[in-house]
Structure 1
Amino acid sequence: MDTSHDNEKLFRNSALYQEFLAEREEILKHKWLESEKAGQDVGFEKALLDWIVNHRATWREHRHGVLQRRSDGSRIGVS
């Protein structure tokens, strides 16, 4: 039995890791949008801080509402 492989699989399937990946994807989208507006790369750190301050709370409320509806049997997708 390969416990390190099992641990990695458990970690990658965890809700916490999935939430991290979803947030990271949103931050990267935000970075792209802000860089397009600025006409240059704004950098990950600046995009991260801006996203946390201005968008994270709303995104999380929306995401958790959608996930809750999905767990209740709805077929609404997560955005």
Structure 2
Amino acid sequence: MNDPTMPAQPGTPYGEFLAEQEEIQRLKWLASESEGHDIGFESALNDWAQNHRAKWRNMRNQMMKQAQV
């Protein structure tokens, strides 16, 4: 049985969701600081999906494969 007090494990669907959400929040913070105002989550999510997700996903998959070796 899963312990709800334990953080989600990398490689699990929920763990990967949380990792991606953290990256979107990081992008949102950096872009908001750069623009001088809160750009909003939806704007950050769109930017992330269009410009960063594929590269991040490839990097993340490589890290997961290396961790299994």
| TM-score normalised to structure 2 length | 0.85
Which structure would you say has the larger Rg? 1
Unaligned ranges ≥5, structure 2: none
2:62 aligns with: 65
Q: Equivalent of 1:51, from 33, 48, 51?
A: 48
| Higher RCO (C-alpha 8 Å, min separation 6) | 2
Opposite residue 56 of structure 1, the aligned amino acid is R
Q: How many residues align?
A: 65
How much identity, in percent, do the aligned residues show? 46
- Offset of residue 26 of structure 1: 0.3
Q: TM-score, normalised by structure 1?
A: 0.75
One-letter identity of the residue aligned with 1:30: L
- 2:19 corresponds in structure 1 to 22
Give the superposition deviation at 1:10.
Answer: 7.6
Across the aligned residues of Structure 1 and Structure 2, the Cα RMSD in angstroms comes to: 1.9
- Which has a greater percent of helix? 1
The runs of 5 or more residues in structure 1 that have no matched partner are 1-5, 73-79
Alignment partners' CA distance in 2, 1:47 and 1:10 = 31
